[in-house]
Amino acid sequence: MVDLTASSILPLPWDSQFFGFPVGRLRAHSVAEPELRQILQQAREDGWRLLYWLVDPADEQSAASARAMRAQLTDRKARFARPVPEVAPPRSPHVWPTSELTPRLIDLAIQSAHYSRFRLDPGFRAGMYERLYEHWIRSSISGQLARQVLIYQPTIEPEATGLLTLGYQPTHATIGLLAVHQGHRGQGIGTQLVEAALHYARAWLVPRIQVTTQLDNDGACRFYVREGFVQEHEEHVYHLWL
């Protein structure tokens, strides 16, 4: 049986403060519909407004219960990873580290959110996903969410046409935001940004680099596979509005 106590829900203070209502993550696996119904009823009584539910794709019972409760499958998250080569590719002369936040970088960050669950879920009020991704790039520039922010900007361009944020852990580097401006896609800019990320990951002496994207973003998935990444994990994210 599923534990119906408060421990079934993990409070998410940052999300709650940012969105302005109580947000939590449902911690439950292999949940039958009657059990999920009880959990959600208790959550309503406890004042929760939104629950994220991360479900293993193989957990067919939970998926069926989520559909029965009309939960929205907002994301099929996939993590891709690859080793950092012993000899990393040289950094393109058009790729630069930056510590300056500009309107163009905010725009690029927002463009990267096209497949984001926070853009696709109509439960969020207008403008919310833009605020979220602006916060992401601001926090990356400040060093809170990224160790390095890279831009693609040839000297002939007045503004950056590509963006990549790179986080650091002792075991791996993580690509956070990756965007190429509309009108400049299909020119190899994404590849040059990833090669620069590999360059920094090698300098940081981490053995692997990873990125999480949406399986529905078929173009991004194909791109990472072309760049030598292999999918190693998948989970489905449901939004349960109460």
CA distance 39 to 22: 16
Q: What is the pLDDT of residues 171-193, one digit of tens each?
A: 999 999 999 998 898 899 999 99
Per-residue confidence at 5, pLDDT binned at 50, 70, 90? Answer: very low
- Domain boundaries of the chain, sorted by first residue: 6-70, 81-235
The vertex-116 CA angle with 110 and 119, nearest 5°, equals 75
pLDDT at 164: 98
Amino acid at 158: P
- Percent of the chain past pLDDT 70, that is, above it, reads 97
Any idea which architecture 81-235 has in CATH? 3-Layer(aba) Sandwich (3.40)
Tens digit of each residue's pLDDT (9 = 90 or more) over 56-98: 999 999 999 999 999 999 999 999 999 999 998 888 999 999 9
Can you tell me the distance from the alpha carbon of 42 to that of 165, in angstroms, rounded to the nearest whole number?
Answer: 40
How confident is the model over 6-18, as pLDDT tens digits? Answer: 468 999 999 999 9
Helix (H, G, I), strand (E, B) or coil at 224: helix
Structure pTM?
0.92
Separate counts of helices (H) and strands (E) for the chain: 8, 10
CA dist 220 and 166 (Å) reads 17
Question: What separation in angstroms does the CA of 228 have from each of 84, 187, 212, 242?
Answer: 10, 18, 14, 41
DSSP string, 121-155: -TTSPTTHHHHHHHHHHHHHHTTSS-SEEEEE--T
